[in-house]
Amino acid sequence: MVKKTLLGSIGLSIILVGCSSMNSTNINNENEEAKESQAALSSDSLVSVQDYTGEGYALPYGKETDKLAEKNRTQIEEAAIKFFKEN
């Protein structure tokens, strides 16, 4: 009886340790992939302010914000120009 309990405890400990190391390995791999994709994205999307035309930028919630931005286009343009002149 004592041997079964001891062997069961050891077996359960080995299984739990093995699973936890697998999980941390997966998390590390996911973190590395995220860093690589972010580095590739930022190096591809960096443009000088003077050269930026506003193209290639996608607003979150796409169609909803596109409608709102298009509706208020002149107001947004005026505010942006004013901001850049002041700053």
Residue 50: strand, helix, or coil: coil
Total-model pTM: 0.32
Q: Retrieve residue 50's tokens.
A: 């003077």
Q: What is the pLDDT of residues 24-79, one digit of tens each?
A: 555 655 666 666 666 555 555 677 778 877 777 666 677 888 888 889 999 999 99
Q: List the chain domain ranges.
A: 1-46, 48-87
Per-residue confidence (pLDDT) for residue 38, from 0 to 100? 60
DSSP for 55-86, please give it: TT---TTHHHHHHHHHHTHHHHHHHHHHHHHH
pLDDT value for 75: 94
Q: Which positions ≥6 away from 59 have C-beta within 8 Å? A: 65, 66, 69
Whole-number Å distance between alpha carbons of 26 and 30: 6
